[in-house]
């Protein structure tokens, strides 16, 4: 009980606090109470409490609240689409801070639709109508709910995948109201399996591209053109969940990922894909294909729940415009994929020269696309290796730098992959490394 009496009062802590001008007293008081409550509970449980003064803890908590939580970081991991770092880095754009013509037709002087800001670009890039929702999982749900709720959707057993963070295709199908009709086996599904599964309750044939895994060996599945032909014969739409959303042919750079245009050209009625993967845009999803089906899906009441906001549309419009004019360098994801390996080596050498005191060395390595795209496919790169006394502590210091650097540890060395470090980030990278070394 004596220890409890030693705790300061709220008023006492409040009087001792400094440098909190402009912060509402109610907010400060609430933080003081929270800290004192935590200490009181610890004392009652006979636990040790921190020796740090209550005033200092409250000050640090308030300071943290006043700083942005979402911060730019330098990605030195070599993973281009790093899920934890926001996947595709955004193309530069200036957000509109005031009002905008989000849903206002300036020519007609009346209400418009937010789709128009990206519809023209999508139509030119894909050759079909398209709508945007907040991610590809939402796109899958919306398509299934509108076209097959209460009815069967045929899908190969080998395509019932988990698309990340515990979201599984069968569970999304169940929530959409669609009835799953599994066919084939894990490794082989034939066109006759689809044909024999069709009945009076079938409303959709679903094809899922294995963008985040590979099945090798004795495998097989029908060509897209075969599925499209079967759908036309039976009057059943064929829908492909493409996942990564590749709009640019990357094969000459060693990346083999199907193009959205190839699926549409093969006769697939509907496709959906992510915008924050190989497309290189913000988090969102696109549904494209047959005009009547797209219009029908757009009229689904759930479309409003899944639509994107003005910031996403502005960012996506910027990215699509750069894709349309083939300005690849303006789209960071493509700029990193297309980067010349010799240029990467030159940059690695430049960084290493500036870090000679840390025994910095360079060597060739491999970068990955990441983000649930192109498994087992890599890009050649050059890395900078740092030999430091304690790489775990050093890596932690890099993460706590003024501009955080996210690196990796290999063979007890700090590894900086220069493919995913932009040229304009080199000075901040060097500053973070030097600061970590001096600490």
pLDDT (tens digit per residue) in 243-278: 888 999 998 888 888 899 999 999 999 999 999 999
Which run of H or of E encompasses 347?
helix 341-353
Are 307 and 158 within one domain?
yes
Are 290 and 240 within one domain?
yes
Tell me, yes or no, whether 419 lies in a domain: yes
The position carrying tokens 């990467």 is 344
Find all residues with CB under 8 Å of 46, minimum gap 6, and list them: none
pLDDT at 212 over 60: no
Find all residues with CB under 8 Å of 304, minimum gap 6, and list them: none
Are 41 and 120 within one domain?
no
Mean pLDDT on 139-165: 88
pLDDT of residue 164: 61
Of the CA atoms within 13 Å of residue 95, those in its CB half-sphere come to 7
Q: Are strands 152-156 and 202-208 parallel, antiparallel or unpaired?
A: parallel
What whole-number distance in Å separates Cα of residue 332 and Cα of residue 326? Answer: 13
Instruction: Give the phi and the psi of residue 149 in degrees, each rounded to 5.
Output: -60, 130
Distances (CA, A) of 6 to 41, 43, 49, 163: 14, 11, 12, 54
Are 184 and 294 within one domain?
yes
Last residue of a domain, one of 299, 330, 361: 330
How many helices (DSSP H) and strands (DSSP E) are in the chain?
17, 18
Tell me, yes or no, whether 40 lies in a domain: yes
Q: How confident is the model at residue 215 (pLDDT cuts 50, 70, 90)?
A: low
Contact status, residue 433 vs residue 74, Cβ threshold 8 Å: no
Are 225 and 261 within one domain?
yes
On average, the pLDDT of the chain sits at 92
Contact status, residue 123 vs residue 151, Cβ threshold 8 Å: no
Mean pLDDT on 98-124: 96
Tell me, yes or no, whether 92 lies in a domain: no
Which run of H or of E encompasses 225?
helix 224-234
DSSP codes joined into one string, 133-157: ES-HHHHHHHHHHHHHTTSEEEEEG
pLDDT of residue 43: 87
Find all residues with CB under 8 Å of 345, minimum gap 6, and list them: 362, 382
Are 234 and 281 within one domain?
yes
pLDDT of residue 218: 62
Tell me, yes or no, whether 100 lies in a domain: no
pLDDT of residue 283: 96
pLDDT of residue 394: 97
- Condensed to tens digits (0 to 9), the pLDDT of residues 368-425 reads 998 766 667 899 999 999 999 999 999 999 999 999 999 999 999 999 999 999 999 9
More confident residue, 174 or 142: 142
The position carrying tokens 């097959």 is 148
Q: Are strands 373-386 and 413-417 parallel, antiparallel or unpaired?
A: antiparallel
C-alpha Rg value of the chain to the nearest Å:
27
pLDDT of residue 165: 61
Are 349 and 295 within one domain?
no
CATH number of the domain to which 386 belongs: 3.90.1150.110
Of the CA atoms within 13 Å of residue 369, those in its CB half-sphere come to 28
Are 385 and 292 within one domain?
no
Are 198 and 310 within one domain?
yes
Q: How confident is the model at residue 1 (pLDDT cuts 50, 70, 90)?
A: low
Distances (CA, A) of 141 to 43, 211, 287, 300, 399: 50, 18, 11, 11, 37
- DSSP helix/strand/coil, 252: helix
Are 78 and 188 within one domain?
no
Q: Are strands 238-243 and 270-274 parallel, antiparallel or unpaired?
A: parallel
Tell me, yes or no, whether 31 lies in a domain: yes
Are 297 and 219 within one domain?
yes
Mean pLDDT on 211-235: 82
CATH number of the domain to which 287 belongs: 3.40.640.10
pLDDT at 216 over 80: no
Are 293 and 360 within one domain?
no
Which two tokens mark 58? 């409250």
pLDDT of residue 197: 95
- Closest by CA position to 90, among listed 309, 274, 330: 330
User: Which class for 290: exposed (0-12), middle (13-18), buried (19 or more C-beta within 10 A)?
Assistant: middle
Distances (CA, A) of 18 to 14, 29, 55, 263: 9, 13, 9, 63
Last residue of a domain, one of 286, 305, 330: 330
pLDDT of residue 192: 93
Last residue of a domain, one of 330, 352, 370: 330
Tell me, yes or no, whether 165 lies in a domain: yes
Tell me, yes or no, whether 96 lies in a domain: no
Length of the chain: 439
Q: Count up the domains in the chain and report the number.
A: 3
Range of the domain at 256: 115-330
- Condensed to tens digits (0 to 9), the pLDDT of residues 300-358 reads 999 999 999 999 999 999 999 999 999 999 999 999 999 999 999 999 999 999 998 88
Tell me, yes or no, whether 29 lies in a domain: yes
pLDDT at 210 over 80: no
């Amino acid at each position: 009980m004596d220890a409890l009496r030693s705790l300061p009062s709220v008023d006492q802590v409040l009087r001792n606090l400094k440098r909190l001008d402009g912060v509402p007293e109610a907010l400060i008081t609430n933080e003081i109470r929270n800290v004192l409550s935590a200490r009181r509970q610890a004392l009652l449980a006979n636990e040790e409490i921190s020796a740090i003064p209550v005033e200092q803890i409250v000050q640090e908590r308030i300071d943290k609240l006043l700083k942005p939580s979402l911060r730019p970081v330098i990605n030195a991991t070599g993973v281009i689409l790093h899920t934890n770092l926001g996947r595709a880095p955004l193309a530069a754009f200036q957000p509109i801070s005031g009002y905008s013509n989000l849903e206002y037709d300036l020519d007609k002087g009346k209400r418009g639709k937010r789709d128009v800001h990206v519809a023209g670009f999508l139509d030119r890039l894909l050759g079909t109508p398209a709508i945007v929702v907040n991610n590809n999982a939402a796109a899958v749900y919306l398509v299934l709910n509108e076209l097959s709720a209460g009815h069967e959707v045929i899908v190969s057993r080998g395509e019932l995948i988990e698309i990340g963070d515990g979201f599984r295709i069968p569970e999304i199908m169940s929530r959409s109201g669609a009835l799953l009709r599994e066919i084939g086996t894990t490794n082989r599904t034939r066109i006759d399996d689809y044909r024999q599964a069709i009945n009076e309750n079938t409303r959709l044939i679903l094809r899922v591209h294995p963008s985040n895994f590979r099945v090798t060996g004795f495998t097989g599945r029908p060509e897209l053109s075969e599925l499209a032909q079967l759908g036309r014969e039976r009057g059943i739409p064929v829908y492909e969940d493409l996942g990564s959303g590749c709009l640019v042919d990357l094969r000459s750079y060693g990346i083999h990922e199907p193009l959205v245009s190839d699926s549409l050209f093969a006769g697939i009625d509907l496709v959906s894909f992510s915008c924050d993967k190989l497309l290189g845009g913000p988090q969102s999803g696109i549904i494209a294909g047959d005009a009547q089906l797209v219009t029908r899906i757009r009229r689904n009441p759930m479309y409003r729940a899944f639509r994107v906001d003005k910031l996403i549309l502005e960012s996506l419009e910027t990215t699509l415009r750069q894709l349309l004019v083939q300005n690849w360098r303006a789209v960071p994801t493509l700029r990193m994929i297309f980067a010349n390996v010799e240029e990467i080596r030159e940059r690695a050498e430049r960084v290493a020269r500036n870090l000679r005191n840390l025994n910095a060395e360079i060597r060739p390595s491999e970068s990955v696309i990441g983000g649930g795209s192109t498994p087992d496919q890599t890009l050649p790169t050059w890395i900078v290796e740092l030999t430091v006394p304690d790489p775990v502590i050093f890596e932690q210091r890099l993460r706590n730098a003024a501009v955080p650097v996210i690196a990796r540890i290999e063979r007890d060395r700090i590894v900086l992959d220069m493919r995913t470090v932009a040229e304009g980030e080199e000075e901040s990278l060097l500053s973070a490394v030097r600061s970590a070394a001096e600490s």
